[in-house]
A = this chain, B = another copy of it.
Amino acid sequence: MIFSKTEYKERLIKVHSGMQKKGIDLIISQDPANMNYLTGYDAWSFYYAQCVLIHVNEDEPICFLRPQDVGGAHIKTFLQDKNIIKYDEKYIHTWPSHPYEYLVEIIKQKKWDKLNIGLEMDSHYFTAFCYEKIKTGLPDAKLKDSKRLINWVRLIKSDREIDLMRTAARITENGMRSAIDHINPGIRQCDAVAEIQKSLISGTSQFGGDYSSIVPMLPTGKGTSASHLTWTEEKFITGEATIIELAGVYKKYHCPMARTVLLGKPDQKKIDTMKVTNEALDAGISEVKPGKTCDEVAQKFWKVLDKYGIKKDSRTGYSIGIGYPPDWGEHTLNIQKGDKTILQPNVTFHMIAVMQFGNWGVESSEAIRVTEKGSELFCNLSRELHIKG
């Protein structure tokens, strides 16, 4: 196991405390990152219904899984056998039957069907169908949105978690260096990404890389105005910029990074915009310390953009840690005007400036830890526009 049983217990205590404050007796958590955080469970089985049940008075969660994933739970979690419950294979993609029919039975057997039950209403894999099965199956339960209660517990990392993120950062740097090396005129985008992925997955000689919850995104040319485009089999072209957004990952902990490469002659407009972007990032980062709010960091960032007359609507950061596809964000704090979350030591976030202007754009970012007195950057790699002449 990656963490001590004590660390898992401490996490559960924090979740229980949050449940008591919110009047929640039982949480049904289907977010794979939350499942991992509370049990250690880690497998690519989130493509169909599964969950963790957390009862406010039980000292161990219950993992609810497909039969062929129970073996994985025995390998990956600290749970007692009795807390790993499997549903029948007959429920796999045979609508209208659904695994949550059996989940409802379990909850009834345990006489938990009249409780206040917290649901992760906007968690990726908690579908409308899962929700209907619970509503219909547990008519006496009081259902409410848990409002990312477990995600909020994940916000402040333990020192062990920070260590894993520091290792992920070394992998990130290797991956980005590989990107900058392999993006060249006449090279197919897929061949550059093949090298980037090789680097990210291989990791370092000491620490192996894990899969990222997002593949390397690589918008190029006019695609730089659209941040979520992935690679194609087309070749890189002299004179065009490419934005690379990727994450090194170690034991599911992510450390993302964005940089921009320009092939060919220096382009003053892009160089200047990159400088302004970095000035804004630095201004925001200089404001990071315990007690400050996300809003205050965002105000500093946007003040620089305002000075240069640059308009940007999207948020400029979000918390990071454990991630599973399709997202490495934790869905808690945003670095955005109006977000009053107070920063605390070992809060970790990705401060990213996506700057888009019609048919072109630049990007850069830093993964950041809030320290006792300020902040620490996880990675060390120049944010300047990487011009390859």
Chain A contacts to B: CB under 8 angstroms: 42-48, 67-76, 88-90, 92-95, 98, 119, 121-132, 145, 147-148, 188-191, 193-195, 197-199, 201-203, 207-211, 214-215, 217, 219, 222-223, 225-233, 313-315, 318, 325-327, 329, 331, 334, 336, 354, 356, 359
Contacts and interface: CB of A to CB of B under 8 A. Distances in A.
Contact of A214 (B47, B76, B89, B203): B47
Contacts of A217: 44
State how many copies of this chain the complex holds.
2
B226 A215 contact: no
A170 to B, nearest CB: 13
A171 to B, nearest CB: 10
Most buried by B among A68, A98, A125, A315: A68
B314 A92 contact: yes
A124 B119 CA distance: 16
Contacts of A72: 219, 223, 226, 228-229
Given A44-B215, A122-B129, A228 B198 contact: no
B202 A69 contact: no
A121 B124 CA distance: 13
Given A47-B124, A47-B214, A69-B226, 14 more contacts: A47-B326, A68-B228, A68-B354, A70-B226, A71-B356, A75-B222, A90-B313, A125-B326, A128-B130, A189-B208, A194-B197, A210-B231, A211-B215, A325-B325
A270 B197 CA distance: 33
Contact of A127 (B76, B94, B123, B336): B123
16 contacts: A44-B214, A70-B226, A71-B223, A71-B226, A89-B313, A92-B334, A94-B334, A121-B129, A121-B132, A123-B127, A190-B203, A190-B208, A193-B201, A194-B209, A208-B233, A326-B326
A227 B69 contact: yes
Given A67-B314, A331-B93, A229 B75 contact: yes
Contacts of A89: 313-315
Contacts of A211: 215, 230
A325 B69 CA distance: 18
Given A47-B214, A131-B128, A214-B44, A208 B226 contact: no
B325 A326 contact: yes
A95 B331 CA distance: 10
Contacts of A207: 233
A1 to B, nearest CB: 12
Given A125-B124, A198-B194, A326-B44, A68 B188 contact: no
A65 B129 CA distance: 23
A228 B44 contact: yes
Contacts of A148: 95
A75 to B, nearest CB: 6
Contacts of A195: 198
Contacts of A94: 334, 336
Contacts of A74: 226
A196 to B, nearest CB: 9
A68 B207 CA distance: 35
Contacts of A90: 313
A129 B360 CA distance: 34
Most buried by B among A69, A70, A189, A229: A229
